[in-house]
Amino acid sequence: MNSAHDLGGQMGFGPVVPEPDEPVFHAEWEKRVLAINVAAGAMGAWTIDEIRHHRESLPPAQYLSASYYEIWLAGLDKALVKHGFLTSAELLSGTPAPERREPKRVLKGEEVPAVLRRGFPYDREAKAPARFAVGDAVRTLVMHPQHHTRLPRYARGKLGTIERVTGCHVFPDTSAQGDHGEAQWLYTVVFTGRELWGRDGDPSSTVSIEAWESYLEPA
Amino acid sequence: MSGHHHDHDHAHDNHFTPIEARVKALETLMVEKGYVEPAALDAIVDTYETRVGPRNGARIVARAWTDSAYAERLKADGTAAVAEMGYGGRGGEHIVACFNTPEEHNLIVCTLCSCYPWPVLGLPPVWYKSPPYRAKAVIDPRGTLADFGVSLPEGQRIRVWDSTAETRFLVIPMRPAGTEGWSEEKLASIVSRDSMIGTGLPRIEDAVEDGR
């Protein structure tokens, strides 16, 4: 969806301001938000794509004024309510109601190192050969779906070149909507600065995105 | 009401800021309903606070600088070469190493969210997740580098990698001149986090002698 999260090329935010000697966390609550996110994700009710969608669909003003852990917290609240683990009333009151949904699994402390080390690989066995090869010219689709997508607005309808065939990966657009079965070939597609930004582009820079096969047409 | 009464009327909980109170309430709900285990939460925090960070990536870069066969393996299959050093997993299931050359400098961004190679760099800094960087890196990479005080030699192109999939990118900076004969450990000490994102360069004046 065309929401505030799709930031590439937007202006008016001012310079990047790095923080010298930045700590890993700036407050105790940030640690807990990270940990609850990871542990709640391990219940297995949603994918990374779906939780990203919940974060992205925050109202733009809220998204742009929140810190990243605040965005994570808001996205997590939405996922927990949507999947019936908690109600909005519980989140407001902080008091648990007797009803609960049984999670597929609960991450145990001793399992954490192995679960983090394993991660959640997104490559899947290919069911068909790749449509494109390294060096092929491609054009990205012009599309504006209401749902989650990983084709950024600045790279839609642009002429690029296949630089790398990554493999067959879970397709985020459908995975975010609950269909976890679809996988597509994934490519690194590189664009010139001029193709993306016209005369305002840097002629000595290129930008690549990772693009699933259905984002691309032969050019 | 006097401050004295105030102290007696309220528990310490009431001194939480709104966000602290909200997170505390969520954690309590999640634990009481049996969805998360406190021990798991603590183990996750401990992992990212003390075990995983940019020193992991720096060891990989230093090895690539000193072991050309390793550098070739890292180029061919980043995930496997990083696993050789004992790293991988969540937030770095698929890793691509982007080698800087005199002709091209690499810069990593995630314009859509905050994708970052956790197993080798740890959790991303705030600026990496914030609108200024995510907006500017793809349209004005040279200006973005200038915000970090970095200016590249004339003629060196910039390649920006937008992390739109589960692939994660690790920049392998060029080994600076004047580091001949250094140990891997000393070399790793000059590989900053930013140099592995592409917003910095290794500086030999940052070197820490072996064993320190």
pLDDT tens digit string along A130-176? Answer: 999 999 999 999 999 999 999 999 999 999 999 999 999 999 999 99
Instruction: Please check whether residues B83 and B153 belong to one and the same domain.
Output: yes
Q: Does A200 touch chain B (CB under 8 A)?
A: yes
Whether B211 maps to a domain, the answer reads no
Of B2, B68, B98, B110, which is the active-site residue?
Answer: B110
Distance from CA of A21 to the nearest CA of B (A): 10
Question: Does residue B133 lie in a domain region?
Answer: yes
Residue located via tokens 């609550």: A29
For residue B54, how many other CB atoms are within 10 A of its CB? 21
Under 8 Å between Cβ of B114 and B197: no
> Please, are residues A192 and A201 in contact by the beta-carbon 8 Å criterion?
yes
DSSP secondary-structure letter at A56? H
Which domains are present in chain A?
Answer: 28-118 (1.10.472.20), 123-218 (2.30.30.50)
Instruction: Specify whether B122 is located in the same domain as B171.
Output: yes
User: Is position B98 annotated as part of the catalytic site?
Assistant: no
Question: In A, which residues are within 8 Å of B37 by CB distance?
Answer: 39, 106-109
Among A210, A212, A213, A214, most B C-beta atoms within 10 A, so best to mutate, is: A210
> Buried b vs exposed e over B95-118: b needs ≥16 C-beta within 10 Å?
bbbbbbeeebbbbbbbbbbbbbbb
Q: Are residues B86 and B180 in the same domain?
A: yes
Is A90 in contact with B29 (CB distance < 8 Å)? yes
Q: pLDDT tier at B12 (50, 70, 90 boundaries)?
A: low
The CATH number that applies at residue B104 is: 3.90.330.10
Terminal Cα-to-Cα distance of chain B (whole angstroms): 56
Same domain membership, residue B25 and residue B69: no
Any bridge partners for residue B95, and if so which? B168
Beta bridge partners of A205: B158
Active site residue B113: yes
Measured CA to CA, the distance from residue B46 to residue B55 in angstroms comes to: 16
pLDDT tens digits for range B39-71: 999 999 999 999 999 999 999 999 999 999 999
Contact predicate B184/B95, CB 8 Å: no
Q: What is the pLDDT along chain A (219 residues), one digit of tens a residue?
A: 999 999 999 999 999 999 999 999 999 999 999 999 999 999 999 999 999 999 999 999 999 999 999 999 999 999 999 999 999 999 999 999 999 999 999 999 999 999 999 999 999 999 999 999 999 999 999 999 999 999 999 999 999 999 999 999 999 999 999 888 899 999 999 999 999 999 999 999 999 999 999 999 999
Containing domain of residue B188, as a range? 53-206
**Cα–Cα dist B97/B169, whole Å:** 6
Please identify which of the residues B68, B98, B113, B183 carries the catalytic annotation.
B113
- Specify if B212 maps to a domain: no
Do B111 and A154 count as a contact with CB atoms less than 8 A apart? yes
